[in-house]
Every structure is written in C-alpha cells, then in structure tokens.
Amino acid sequence: MRFLVTAGPTREHIDPVRFLSNPSTGKMGFAVARAAAKAGHEAVLVAGPVALKTPRGVRRIDVVSARDMLAAVMDELPAADVLVMTAAVADWRPARTASRKLKKGEMKPVLELVRNPDILRTVKKSLGASRAKKVIVGFAAETGEPTAEASRKCREKGLDLVVANDVTAKGAGFGTDTNVASFVSPDGSIERLPLMSKDALAARIVKRAVLWYTVDGMKSRA
C-alpha cells in the first residue's frame, strides 16, 4: 500500500526573519512514515521545517507553510491509499508577508491574520465519491481530555480514524519520544492505548489503517 504522511509544524512568515508556528518536532509523523516503510509499504513524507533525518526507504518533500503543505498533499494524494495527517498545521497566517525584513518601527502592535485552508477538509472535498478507496487518519492534539473533541473532528472532517492525545499528559506531547493516545472511530468507539513509544504507536496506526483499507475494500466490492 502507499502511505502519505504529513509531519511537523508549518511556518507562516511575517517577513523573511519572523514567523508564526508551534512546537511540533515532527517525531510522530516521521515515526509513522518509518513504520509504514518498515512494514513494506511505500511511504511519502510531507514535512514542515524540522530537524529530523529522513527515515530509510521514505520519500520526503519539505514544505514551509500550510499552503505549501496543502499543495504537496494534493499532488501526492491521487497515488496514495492512506493519508495520515500528523502535522500541526497553523490555522492562521499573517494577512501580508513582507519580502524583506521589516524594521520594528514599520510593524504595528496588532498583527492581522487570515485563515489557512484546512487540509483534511480540502482533501475530503476533492475525493468526493471516490473517498471509499482511501483511508484518512487525522490527529487531535488537545490540552486536557481529548476524546470528545476527537469524536467531533472525526465526524465533522469525515475521517476513518482520529488519534487523540492530551499534549499536557505525562509522557505525551511535543518533542517527547513517547505518547499516550486513544483511537477514536467514526462509530464513536474509543480505544484507549497505554503510554508507549511513538514508534510503537506508529506501528499500531499503520496496522489499523491497513485493516480499515481492507474492510473498506471488501465493502466496496460487496
């Protein structure tokens, strides 16, 4: 099967030396791409700016902004069987990006922002009726109990699986090598997983996606 995985943060530039972003390090997404390749699948990784080495057997596309990430995902989507969106995509970007460094005196104390596209919603819309042939996995990183929000995102974005985690929980969150997650399914069922390495969680996500793909494939052939 062919896995398309996004990882890391996006950067939304104000000028060449200033940007809006978040603390994502890309570890979870790189682990998913590595796990997919290890399990014998093709893996393409669309990575925001991170300091990680490309896993063996993975094709990597580097991007900076949410709009770059959207373009790369849309280019790679037709060939993918599974999309795993681990990236922490910035929801907003500055209304204007200067092409040269702004002097502090040229900047206003309030920054005007505009919404970035939602990559998962755009993907879902573009797939339309053919969606049954692809498995779409989202993440929900929350501060506090994440499963209610994850269920809402699963429903609203029409996902096949949401991996929910509380980024403030011990052993979870940005930059850690472990995670504490729950699998939230479209039927509302929740599987709570124990603390485990991001590599172990990645392997479970890959297994689950393969299972979904097989079940969906059987459904569409029936």
Residue 43 interacts with ligand CTP (CB under 6 A): yes or no: no
- Residue 70 and residue 117 in contact, taking contact as beta carbons nearer than 8 Å: yes
Amino acid at position 47, single letter: A
Q: Is residue 22 annotated as part of the catalytic site, yes or no?
A: yes
Instruction: Establish if 118 lies at the interface with ligand CTP (CB under 6 A).
Output: yes
**Residue with tokens 């969906």, as numbered in its chain:** 216
Residue with Cβ nearer ligand CTP (62 or 91): 91
Catalytic residue among 22, 116, 165, 179: 22
Q: Closest approach of Cβ 87 to ligand CTP, in Å?
A: 5
Minimum CB distance to ligand CTP smaller for 119 or for 180: 119
Q: Among residues 89, 154, 161, 167, which is the contact residue for ligand CTP, using CB under 6 A?
A: 89
Q: What H or E segment, with its residue span, contains residue 184?
A: strand 181-184
How near is the Cβ of 10 to ligand CTP at its closest, in Å? 8
Q: Which of 33, 72, 82, 87 binds ligand CTP (CB under 6 A)?
A: 87
Task: Kindly state whether residue 29 participates in binding ligand CTP, applying the rule CB under 6 A.
Answer: no
Using CA atoms, how far apart are residues 158 and 165, in angstroms rounded to an integer? 19
CB neighbours of residue 121 within 10 Å:
12
Intra-chain end-to-end CA distance of the chain, in Å: 21
Q: Where are the alpha helices (DSSP H) in the chain?
A: 27-38, 66-76, 119-127, 147-157, 198-221
Does 119 bind ligand CTP (CB under 6 A)? Our answer is: yes
* Residue 100 Cα to chain centre, angstroms: 30
Catalytic machinery residues: 22
Chain residues binding ligand CTP by CB under 6 A are 66, 85, 87, 89, 91, 116, 118-120, 138-141, 153
